[in-house]
Structures are given as structure tokens and as C-alpha cells.
A and B are shown apart, each in its own frame.
Chain A
Amino acid sequence: MTSSATPLHYLPITEAAAALSAGRLTSAELTEAVIARAEAVEPRLRALLSADPASARAQARASDLRRASGQSLGPLDGIPIGLKDVIAVQDQPLTAGSRMLANFISPYDATVTRRLRASGAVLYGRHNCDEFAMGSSTENSAFHPTGNPWDLDRVPGGSSGGSAAALAAGEALATLGSDTGGSIRQPAALCGVVGLKPTYGTVSRYGLVAYASSLDQIGPFGRTVADVALVLQAIAGHDERDSTSLRAAPEDFGEAVTASPVPRRLGLPREYFGEGLDPEVAAAVEQAVAHYRGLGCEIREVSLPHTPYCLDAYYVLATAEASSNLSRYDGVRYGHRCAAPRDLQDLYCRSRAEGFGAEVKRRIILGTYVLSSGYYDAYYLRAQKVRTLVRRDFLRAFEEVDALLTPTSPIPAFRRGEKADPLAMYLCDIYTIGANLAGLPAMSVPCGFTRAGLPVGFQLIGKPLGESELLAIGHAYDRVHQWGRRSPNL
């Protein structure tokens, strides 16, 4: 056991790894603590869609044996890590929160899964999410909603809400999510943990259930920026199985967190601090800005003039790609098939109608519309051009500053059922979508709580492939405040 007062299931990876390494803790004990915690809170929280405790225990025993024979695989060896249920794990369910895949068993491992195994991580838990990662509250899951650990009547954010909630509740020491328009960063902010969306192409998408392929990126949730760096280190890198995977020079992100000097220039995009921003969120983010000012950083206002069009460009591009990607769910080779189809057309149309929920159907229809003959230039092509302009805005800002600092979400966690109108829900992602359109690394770092006790996060957006710098900047705040180490009364 560790000497720290922190319960095992709430340890940051850095401390758990030190305890494992020093022989004060075994992976079996740590994994048992996480499983016990999950079993205790799941009836109320419902962050898990499935879990395989027997497999986790076997992985933990194997880790302890490796360590005992001097063959430790590094800082993640023996650390329980959970996955959003859009990431393939061989012989485990993979539902993407959809009835369509309710009975699907993955025949292979995603590349990130393979890499986590290679780093010795104990894979435990498959987390709830909005169906096919479409949503900002995890209410679109076909199975059940997930509570926010800080207030169970409120949403954990989405679409990776289960992964953020599970981490905040102590059901893992880190988790992986996926982020297409903010689906890691927004739930990280709403649940009070750190969440990183890497540069597009940094982490392989092989084995990720596709939503909008030009925007999707897998990334880690952690209690601290240092933990996120360790998980990123394990999952990043070129993969020939993903043709959009970048061939970037290898870096040591764990080292970068502490080694890089704190850069001097942070930009506040004025378009991210206007109408619609909750005053308590604004105040907490201002405090973070003050922290950086106190460190000697130069704080500058910058402008990203095409920000007002990001949401519109996103909903054209993402739905267009989704309508194409989700055409694979045809009831033929895998997934739900309707009973007694009259013919093949009937099989397609009814299997899809029965397998998909309302939000998925809505996005498929919108995507079909923007791609249809006569509307393609007005919507899809134009959105792709606006995307070019959005990226140019960011690159121009990075000529003046090293990173951008913004709120992650305009509002803290909202009540379940509060955002019934699709557009109201889409506006939750207004500050996060730009980094997806431009393919930039971006991270949400917790920076306090509202008077009602709901977490608030700020977002750092970095240069392309600027993860090391982004992590160093985030750590310069996080190592002092450590808001992600607070635990909810759950």
C-alpha cells in the first residue's frame, strides 16, 4: 500500500507508478480497488457499458509477475485504464452506444488498445457514450444515461461522458475517449479532469468506430496533465494501418511536461469570451489567466475572425462524413438485422431504422442533404473552404503567441433533459470545434468549481504537433492547483 492518504482508486498514475516501482503496491491490489470502486458506484453513476473483471485481474497478475522478474514495461505497467466503447478490444463488446451494435464482439484490437497492452496497462471497463459519438451529454446512448459524479442529476458531457465520469469517480486511473468536435475536452471540463485531443494524425484511428473521419481523434483523460502525457506517450505514433497517421519525430511527452520552459506568450481569442459564456466559468478561466500572468507569461488578445462559422462548417462536414461512414451498417455483414425482410432494400431500410437512434438518423439525413446533387457546392464544398480559413486564422495567431487559452465549455454541467433542442446541444461545442476543423492539439485543464460545486475547465490550443509545448504549459498551471485530484462526494 502507499503511504499517501489518497484512496488507491483516486491515485494519479505518477504516484501509483512510483508505488508499484518501489514495491509498496501491486497491480493486483490497485486493480482490485478500482473494480471494487466501480461496483460500488455503478448502480448510481452508470458510466460503464461493460467490464470484464476476470480479464482485468489476469492482466494485473501478469503485470505483477513481469515486475517481479525485472521486466516492467514502464510507467503504465499495471495501471488500470478504461476505454470509451468506440475503441475495439479483441473478444470484448463494442457497441458505440448503439442498438445497431448491441451484440457486436470485436474480432481485433484497435492500435491504441494494442499499444496500451504493450505498455502493460490493465484494460478495465468500456464506457458509455453518445451513440456513435454524436452528442454532448451522453444522453444519446441507446442503453442508459450516465450521471455527472459531481451531481448525478446532471450530465457528464459528451460524447465521451462515460470515460470522463468513470475517471472522476475512481473507476480507472486514466481513460481513453475520442474527440470529433470536443467529445474529450467538454466532458473533461464538466467532470473536472484533464482531457487531451492530440493533433489530427498523432494517434491511430485503426479500430476506432468512425464518425467523421477527417475530424476524429483518440486521446487520453487523466487526473493531471502529467498523467495525460504518460498515456499519450503510450498511444501516439505512426501506424501504417491508418492512412492519415502522421510520421512525426518521436518525442518524450512525459519528459516534456517538466523539461520544457514555460513559454511566454498566451493568446486570448476575443471571439471565445463573448455572449453565451457563463459568468462563473468566465471568472474561473480569468483566474487561470492570472496564474499564467503571475508566472511571467505575456497575455495578448488575439482574433480568430472565422470563429462564428466554425459550428456551421462542422455540422456540414461532420454529418456529410457520418452519412457516408455509417452506410456500412446495412444489416448484412454485422450489426442489427430486422426480422423477416421482404427484399434487400427492405432489409437495409428497416435494419437501419431499428438500429439507429434519433440523433444518428438526424445527422445521417442532414449529411445526405448537404452531399446531395445541387447542394454539394453550397454546403459541403463551401464548408471545406471555410475550414481552410479557420485553419489560417489559427496559424496567423500562432505567429504572435505560443498557445491559445479559452474556456472549454461555455457552461458547467447541465441537467439531464435540459437541452432537448438539437441546436442548443450543438452550441455546447462552440469553443472546441475550431481545433478539430484545424487539426490542432487542444487540452482541457480543470480550473475550479462553481458555487454549486460543478467543475470548470479551461482549454489550451497548441500549434500543429505542439503537444510537448501544450503539455508543458498545462502542467505549469496544473502542478500547482491539481483540481483534477479532488474527488466528488459520491
Chain B
Amino acid sequence: MNQADLDLDALARLARLALTPEEKATFQRQIADLLRHIERLGEVDVTGVEPSAHAHPQHNVWQEDEPRPGLTPAEALRNAPVQRDQMIAVPKVVE
């Protein structure tokens, strides 16, 4: 793993994480170490092997679309950091 390939700024942007310069430097080094270990996966012959997303894949799991009791607005908003008139408040999105 070439450390230069690891663009911590781009990754932090993708992950929506505001990292400090110190965190970036530490993660740069630690993640490069981990990737060096992980790159051993390249040694495995995976020709013709199907990927497994789950150990026991299940397909077409549906529930009937039936109304049933759910959370009340007060319960659903109980953990909202900022709320107003039964709505979650966020900074202005549209100019």
C-alpha cells in the first residue's frame, strides 16, 4: 500500500467526518498498516468463486403492506436534537 494513495481529505469528505490534522495523520499511518495486512487477500485464488453477501442468503423477503400501530409523533420526536411544531429543525437548506 502506497500511503500517497490514501487521500484522507477525500475519504473524510465522503464519510462526512470533520477530522483534525492530528486524526488525519494518525489514521493515514494506521489505515496504511491495516491495508498492507488486508492486501494479503490478493494471494487467494478466487477464480470462479461467487461472492457471499450473507452466510445464509434469503431472497424476496416481503411483508404484507398492512397498516399497524406505530410510534406517535411525540414518541418519534423524543430524541430529536431540535424540533419545532412536530417537525425536526435543521439549518436552512434552500437559498
Contact = CB atoms under 8 A, between A and B. Distances in A.
A binds B: yes
Interface of A: 103-105, 107-108, 199-201, 214, 240, 243-244, 246, 306, 308-309, 311-313, 315-316, 323, 327, 330-337, 341-350, 352-353, 356, 358, 361-362, 364-366, 368-370, 372, 378-379, 381-389, 391, 421-423, 426, 437-440, 464
Contact of A309 (B17, B44, B90): B44
Contacts of B52: 384-385, 387-388, 391
The B contact surface, by secondary structure, is loop
Nearest to B46: A385
Contacts of A362: 27, 30-31
Given A312-B37, A335-B81, A386-B46, A330 B31 contact: no
Contacts of A384: 51-53
Contacts of A391: 52, 55
A309 B40 contact: yes
B11 A343 contact: no
B17 A423 contact: no
Interface in B33-83: 33-35, 37-44, 46, 49-56, 58, 61, 63, 71, 75-76, 78-82
17 contacts: A201-B56, A246-B58, A309-B44, A312-B37, A313-B41, A332-B90, A336-B81, A358-B23, A364-B15, A365-B31, A366-B34, A382-B46, A386-B41, A388-B49, A388-B52, A422-B34, A439-B56
A455 B61 CA distance: 43
Contact of A368 (B14, B23, B35): B14
Q: Which of B16, B76, B91 has the most CB of A within 10 A?
A: B16
A331 B91 CA distance: 11
Contacts of A388: 49-52
Interface residues of B, number: 51
Given A107-B79, A240-B63, A352-B18, 9 more contacts: A332-B81, A342-B91, A361-B19, A381-B51, A384-B51, A388-B52, A422-B33, A423-B37, A440-B55
B24 to A, nearest CB: 9
B95 to A, nearest CB: 10
B42 to A, nearest CB: 7
A153 to B, nearest CB: 26
A335 B44 CA distance: 41
A333 B79 contact: yes
A385 B58 CA distance: 18
Contact of A344 (B26, B33, B76, B91): B91
Contacts of A421: 30
B6 interface: yes
B4 interface: no
B44 A389 contact: yes
B25 interface: no
Given A107-B75, A352-B18, A388-B52, A243 B58 contact: yes
Nearest to A215: B55
B90 A323 contact: no
